[in-house]
Amino acid sequence: MMCTPRTPRTRSIASIRSTPSTRSSVSTRSTRSKRNTFILGLLVALGIGASTAVAGGSKDFQPLVMSEKYRSECASCHLAYPPALLPLTSWRHLLGSLDKHYGVDASLEPAEVLEISKWLEPLAGTYKKVRAEPQEDRITKAAWFVREHREIEAEVWLRPSIKSAANCAACHTTAEQGNYNDNFVRIPK
């Protein structure tokens, strides 16, 4: 089926996040895997998010077309965070204040900001869990993010191999590809 970048993913996120599968810990991988298989099967049966299910990533947020400007400018310092993980208002705040970007100067030429915003804004998150602006426009302050990571002890975030909750790829080994499925989580020592 033809699909837009967001619609199927939006549905799969909303469906899967509300299931018990996400409550299981990282250590119960086999149990969760069976549950995920069941859920993915269910989604396919319902005709929802087929492309997402085929990708094997129930939390696949990668935009179908990635902006090279976004990758080269934003992903130099941090992961190319999926646009769907913040609402439009948050993205606008961020793009309007790049000279004061969480303590660093990330300023760009106006034309570059415009190029990124044209690509990014239509991809911003609109589904229920992402609709509310998180505190400080941080993905890591969003209620869904905190809930998804509630089993991670404070000590784990501070490990030198992780450093920050913003460092998705430290544990989500397929984050660079936009895949945040629990099956690909490996928490480094």
Binding-site ranges for another protein (CB under 8 A) = 1-3, 51, 54-55, 64, 66, 68, 71, 75-79, 102-107, 162-164, 166-167, 169-170
Kindly state the smallest distance separating residue 178's Cβ from another protein, in Å: 10
Decide if 58 contacts 35 (C-beta within 8 A): no
Among 165, 4, 169, smallest CA distance to 84 is for 4
Kindly state the smallest distance separating residue 52's Cβ from another protein, in Å: 9
Cβ proximity to another protein, 46 vs 54, nearer residue: 54
Cβ proximity to another protein, 22 vs 62, nearer residue: 62
Cβ proximity to another protein, 68 vs 121, nearer residue: 68
List, in order, residues 6 or more apart from 59 with CB less than 8 Å away.
Answer: 12, 13, 16, 179, 180, 181, 182
Cβ proximity to another protein, 42 vs 98, nearer residue: 98
Decide if 66 contacts 119 (C-beta within 8 A): no
Kindly state the smallest distance separating residue 75's Cβ from another protein, in Å: 8
Kindly state the smallest distance separating residue 144's Cβ from another protein, in Å: 20
Distance CA 157, CA 181 (A): 19
Distance CA 115, CA 7 (A): 23
